A and B are shown apart, each in its own frame.
Chain A
């Protein structure tokens, strides 16, 4: 019941906020969003699951209710959490609350609609991470698009219309490709599945895979479905060459939407890859490991090089997300405990760090009305605390020890270097490690020009300190980043517990 309450609070809260007057909408949405945050932390404390949700694990907070049966397949409301999904649910709840706080300053029109959409997106995101029935999961997965489209389209920057429709079309077409592949796969499994429940489909896949469909052999169908779904999720992640929607969406989106986009929406793609491709198709993972690893490394390097070439702070952070998501893919394809576990850890860690980075850029933009590196210098002089947190976040990005980024990247490299499944794993890992050098390069270069040196910004108004609520939410995020960096076992234990059944205890 707890997951239902979590989703229902956010949904009802969205409706209430939508009809509330603009004046109080921000504070009201914040108050409402504290409930899911508190509940998700309670779920975290009371978590009693073990194993993987799809592979006969003990689910926590499971609940299932029949919904519909048609043509021999049943569809049900089926939710539950395991060690992979729980950290992401907590991340979603916390980031949504902080995104609401960070909207107080920049959002000054149609507030009730804005905060209503944020709460709606929160409900749908929690649904994505907890749903265990394909149909239900797909409903949540697609329902995230509409509020994000409107958030970018209504409150975005000058090119918001183009960015919003590009985001919608890219991700929607990708979803349809993935959807078609998965439905064909389910029909190909024949009588061995009688529902769209993901655990049932996963065990049928591992017990022998599809029998074939439309004259395709079972193996061909499985490979085609694997490729189709990989492409579908790859757009969401995004990996090179499907990344072009991301910088547009990020740059035009209002800061709070960017926080959610980088912090949680990108994780939907990697989460789905882990849940579907890397859990249900071990044979295909082995067969396609090298091309996937190549895509991952290209994303790491190319994303970082693109970031190096930008002069807009927000674009820099946006492209660096492409690079960070490349690490996640590399960890997944390594198929070792540390590789896949580290990838999952990186999802949480990158959610926190990129959230912090977008928040800092937003705070600077609110005060200066520019994001161009070339326009400003010496910001540390005017907003010392905010800039301090920004620098700390940047070091987190670069993988400074005792911050979560270090733990995540260390796990991934450790896991992928010795991977037995991935050929040339040492070469791929070494290449990907080079990405860190570029990350350090562009972040330090950008910081050096913007925050250090003599204060110089031509404005006809006084640039003051950052508002207390913004600084407070940045400090909360920084605290979480350091906590996870110092004690990764807080979540890494439950992650590996859920990962082990996938890789059957192999690897390092």
Chain B
């Protein structure tokens, strides 16, 4: 019997086109033995929630560098919940000002990573979150 694999959706909502970070994280999670579904650039919250549903992921990783995180994150959380996926843990990477972090965490974001964050920490947190 196959062991349960951690499935992660890595998505870039919004309009900025810088996907290097998302790709590095996707690759790191892959090397940690996870199955990473990469959706590419310029995803709407609806597209992300739909992909998360179809792929039955445990974790959604969002890469946001556009500054629109306070609009995108709650919308995605809301849609996941509406689909019955309230157990899916959502992480954000990108440029997030310190003053927004408490509010994002309050909404239910499981982890926030800025520039310089180590992939080892991300892997550890993801593994912890799906336990």
Are A and B subunits of one complex?
no
Q: A-contacting residues of B (Cβ < 8 Å)?
A: none
Q: B-contacting residues of A (Cβ < 8 Å)?
A: none
